Amino acid sequence: MFTTTTPARIDPPMRRLIDTVTPGGQARYLPVRPTPDATVNGCFSNVRAKVARDGGRRLCGWQLWEWPGVLVEAEFHAVWLSPGDEMVEITPKPHGEDRILFVPDERRDYQGEVVDNVRIALHDDQLVQHFIRVSRAIVQVQARNGQPAGPGQVRVPAEQIAPLRQAQHFLGYAIDARLREHDPCPCGSGVRYRQCHGHELELALA
């Protein structure tokens, strides 16, 4: 999503995120070694195929992301645990990252449900808060519409999701352009975001 990438280090906000999803969890960097048939959004099916071929088992946990200066994010994820107990990331990355930061979470297993990402804002700004709330709303609409075929393959009526996706993109590009809530709204009205689209979105999300 936008400019999220593998965090360069485990700083205090990242530590707080790790403790939110798996208290006391031990995060570690894993090199990305994709299997030839693996797909970007298909970690669970990638690992299922790998286990069927080579043994070992699935290990669920959280892949950790950072949008530098904006937010940190945890995504429910699976890696392959080899028969020799080595954690291996076999799922390719959308932006070609060659390593991931991963924290195992043995309390959780994947049952085909929609699991939302957990996000923590790095500064208090309405644009970032709205981005996080809109992203959560998208997953809630998806979850209301029944079980997905797999992550990234959710079937939802387009008219329910499209306005939320539009808002998410609008906010994402505004944040990438370093706009803050007191700047003129990106729509070009000349009014501050808070009083313009920020106000509209606040009503829509309520």
The residue (of 63 and 168) whose beta carbon lies closer to Zn ion is: 168
| Least distance between Zn ion and beta carbon 79 (Å) | 42
Q: Which residues pair with 104 in a beta bridge?
A: 61
User: Is residue 38 part of the contact set for Zn ion (CB under 5 A)?
Assistant: no
Q: What is the DSSP string of 94-111?
A: TT--SEEEEEE-TT----
Nearest distance from C-beta of residue 196 to Zn ion, angstroms: 3
Sign of the dihedral through C-alpha 99, 100, 101, 105: negative
Q: Tell me: does residue 204 bind Zn ion (CB under 5 A).
A: no
Cβ-contact 42, 28 below 8 angstroms = no
What's phi and psi for 25, nearest 5 deg? -60, 150
Of the candidates 196, 199, 202, 204, which one interacts with Zn ion according to CB under 5 A? Answer: 196
Query: Which window, 102-110, 138-146, 169-177, 193-201, contacts Zn ion (CB under 5 A)?
Result: 193-201
Q: Which of 38, 137, 174, 185 binds Zn ion (CB under 5 A)?
A: 185
The least distance separating Zn ion from the CB of residue 167, rounded to whole angstroms, comes to 11
Q: Is 197 in the site for Zn ion (CB under 5 A)?
A: yes
CA dihedral 95, 97, 109, 146 (to 10 degrees): 0
Q: Which residues bind Zn ion (CB under 5 A)?
A: 185, 187, 189, 196-197
